[in-house]
Amino acid sequence: MKKILFLLVCISHFTSAQTSEELFATGNTFYKEGKIELALESYLKIEAQGNISSELFFNLGNCYYKLNKVAATIYNYERALQLDPLNQDAANNLVFAKRLTIDRIEELPKSVFEKLNKEYLQKISYNQWAIISCVLSLLTAIFFLSFYFSYSSSKKRFFFTSSILCIILFFISLSITYHQYNYSKEAVFAIIFAEKTTVKNEPTSNSEEIFTLHEGTKVKVLDTVDDWKKIKLVDGKIGWLLATEIKLFPQF
């Protein structure tokens, strides 16, 4: 009986995968024919099945861009990059999509490490950094064993130096993996989906309005109180707005 149930689950999973592939192909066909809303419907069905990918969100972003839905466009391009930081097509399209936003917020100057982290280190996910760490640890072991069993002094020097270099790189990559993992789990971002929203200095409806934001702006979420979210902009401004005005990025 257990074998039959297992077989049924496998068949169901395979059928679902096939359906997602068919929907993706159908969506692509609709998009090429200019039937954007039908393409969007196909892609959304795939998302509803839970079969998400960077390519799926990239296509969703393209559809919303064609439909002039700024917030949804930026949200989906950002999600495509969240799953695959090296998706250059999504990164390029995101630049164009951000030009449609009203808010022009200047980012605070970054330190050398922050620039290095954003421009290079964050281009690789923490899972990929973990793989790099595993490879480096394996190379360290191989070089050390080669050093131990070598008889030539020149080879010993080479293998010893290589093992030391690999172990240093291993600890560096491990540190980056740990940092990127914590960042991905602790940093919560969102996109403003309301056409226009006022940000207040306290999480109450009668508190003072300190500035205004428009759809498509990306914010960092710092805290939650009842129906309010405490947000921070890249220029350092902090305030509170209603949770219904934004859409959070899911954490993987």
Structure tokens at 186: 């602790």
Tell me how far apart the terminal alpha carbons of the chain are, to the nearest angstrom. 35
| Domains: count for the chain | 3
Residue 9 pLDDT > 50:
no
One domain for residues 6 and 89: yes
- The reply to whether 149 and 237 lie within a common domain is no
Task: Report the side by side order of strands in the sheet with 218-225.
Answer: 209-214, 196-200, 238-242, 228-232, 218-225, 188-192, 246-248
Same domain, residue pair 193 and 181: no
In this structure, of 45-49, 147-151, 196-200, 245-249, the range with the lowest mean pLDDT score is 147-151
What average pLDDT score do residues 120-137 get? Answer: 87
What was the pLDDT predicted at 174? Answer: 92
Residue 228 counted as domain residue: yes
Is 44 domain-assigned? yes
57 in a structural domain: yes
- Together in a domain, 27 and 62: yes
In a domain, 107, yes or no: no
Both tokens of 51, joined, read 């079969």
Residues 166 and 241 in one domain: no
**Residue 13 C-beta-side C-alpha neighbours within 13 Å:** 6
Work out whether strand 238-242 and strand 209-214 pair parallel, antiparallel, or are unpaired. Answer: unpaired
Gap between the Cα atoms of 6 and 54, Å rounded: 30
Is pTM beyond 0.85? Reply is no
Instruction: Assess whether 10 and 81 both reside in one domain.
Output: yes
Q: Are residues 35 and 52 in the same domain?
A: yes
Strands 209-214 and 246-248: unpaired
Tens digits of per-residue pLDDT, 176-201?
A: 998 888 877 778 999 999 999 999 99
CATH of the domain at 77: 1.25.40.10
Specify whether the CB–CB gap between 23 and 46 falls below 8 A: yes
- Whole domain around residue 72: which residue ranges? 2-98
Query: Which residue among 168, 186, 204 closes a domain?
Result: 186
Per-residue pLDDT tens for 67-101? 999 999 999 999 999 899 889 999 999 999 999 99
103 located within any domain: no
Asked whether residue 105 is domain-assigned, the answer is no
Q: Is position 104 within any domain?
A: no
- Compute the distance between CA of residue 104 and CA of residue 195 in angstroms, rounded to an integer: 15
- Check which CATH number belongs to the domain holding 205 and give it: 2.30.30.40
Instruction: Give the distance from CA 235 to its chain's centroid.
Output: 21
16 within a domain of the structure (yes/no): yes
